[in-house]
Amino acid sequence: MRSILENPRYTGFAFFGRWARQEMLLDPDDVAAGNVVRFRRAKPDKVVRSRKPAHPRIMSVQDFTQTQLMRRAKAAGGLRTARKTERPGRTVKYAYLFRGLIRCIACGRKMEGSPQKHGMYYRCSARTLTPGSPALLTHPPTIYLKEEPLRDALNEWIGGLFDRQNIAQTVEQLVKAQPTPKTANDGAARKLLEDAEARLQRFQNAISAGVDPSAVVEGINRAQADRAAAQAELMKAGEPAGPGEAEVYAMIDSLGDVGAALSGGRPEKLATLYRELRLDLRYDNEKETVCATVSPRVNNVRVRGGTRTHVRSIHARDACSCDGP
């Protein structure tokens, strides 16, 4: 098909000189081995076309030219553009609400969706583990987690968090859950500040004693730079590490009507809400519980460390299985 699209002879005209014959040494290090003939595509100015059609055409010159332009445009866009033009959109038969959001505690891998006749499940199979992995010692052959009970429990919990009556308490918990200001470098910054100030004092005493200021100008500049860096580090350490109350309210507002998304029951809206909440689920098959964590953002941009909080263990006894659904 490609050779047909690139061959101008199908327009009805005769073309000559599209390929140039070239002889080259078979082995550059051994001239006695002889030559080999290669045909390479000639430059456009070397190709000759007949003035009149030489045989019946299959396509017009305009169609051929338009095809070449489309192929060049696709090639300029790279492989991604080529895939879009050649492959149709992939249809999804099942809606996976927790796609990429559930991890197996036993091995730490993401659990994959597995539609069954009794409903949607998420599974983790031991046979796909790396040979020799320590997780093989304790990992069951196959772990299954049913979607429907997990979805109902999560929606009830999330709905309670963002209910109007509980929103103030939720915001308060989110603010309190932020990491404390970094103070690990306070000691080093203070030591650097004291050392820089001591050096500046020595340089000032030297100048007062009659030393030429030009002889110590580099040392003074270096000490002043160290003092400025230490002061900036100490000021940064005093700033809060997480968002304030107003920023947390903005995060919640950016999520839209959470209650409507939960009550509507549409899988697309639920899946979008779970990802906007940055839902993280960890399934423990031994305890038969799912540990859920939400970390909302503002417009998908983390605000000074995010709001990773609200962890809850959801009992999943009716939703789990280690043998099969």
Q: Are residues 10 and 82 in the same domain?
A: yes
Report how many domains make up the chain: 3
For the chain, the first-to-last Cα distance in angstroms comes to 48
pLDDT value of residue 60: 87
**pTM for this one?**
0.49
On whether residue 91 sits in a domain, the answer given is: no
Q: Are residues 131 and 249 located together in one domain of the fold?
A: yes
Residues 29 and 166 in one domain: no
Q: 281, 102 in Cβ contact below 8 A? A: yes
CA 81 – CA 151 distance, rounded (Å): 37
Q: Is 75 found in the same domain as 56?
A: yes
Whether residues 54 and 122 share a domain: the answer is no
Q: What is the distance between the alpha carbons of residues 273 and 162, in angstroms, rounded to a whole number?
A: 12
**93 domain-assigned:** no
285 shares a domain with 136 = yes
Q: Do 152 and 112 share a structural domain?
A: yes
Domain that holds residue 8: 2-86
Residue 91: what pLDDT? 60
Check residue 83 and give its pLDDT. Answer: 54
pLDDT in tens, the chain (325 residues): 677 778 888 899 998 888 888 888 888 788 888 888 888 888 888 889 898 999 998 888 888 888 888 877 766 655 555 555 555 555 667 778 898 999 999 999 999 998 988 889 999 999 988 888 888 888 999 999 999 999 888 888 888 887 878 778 877 777 776 655 555 456 778 888 888 888 888 887 777 777 777 777 778 888 888 888 888 777 766 544 455 667 667 777 766 667 767 776 678 888 888 888 888 999 998 888 999 888 776 443 333 333 444 445 555 544 444 555 5
pLDDT attached to residue 142? 93
The predicted pLDDT at position 104 comes to 93
Task: Report d(CA 320, CA 144) in Å as an integer.
Answer: 5
Residue 127 counted as domain residue: yes
With b meaning 16 or more CB within 10 Å and e meaning fewer, what string describes 194-223? eebeebbeebeebeeeeeeeeebeeebeeb
40 shares a domain with 140: no
Specify the pLDDT at position 222: 84
Distances in Å between the alpha carbon of 5 and those of 133, 232, 250, 303? 52, 65, 55, 53
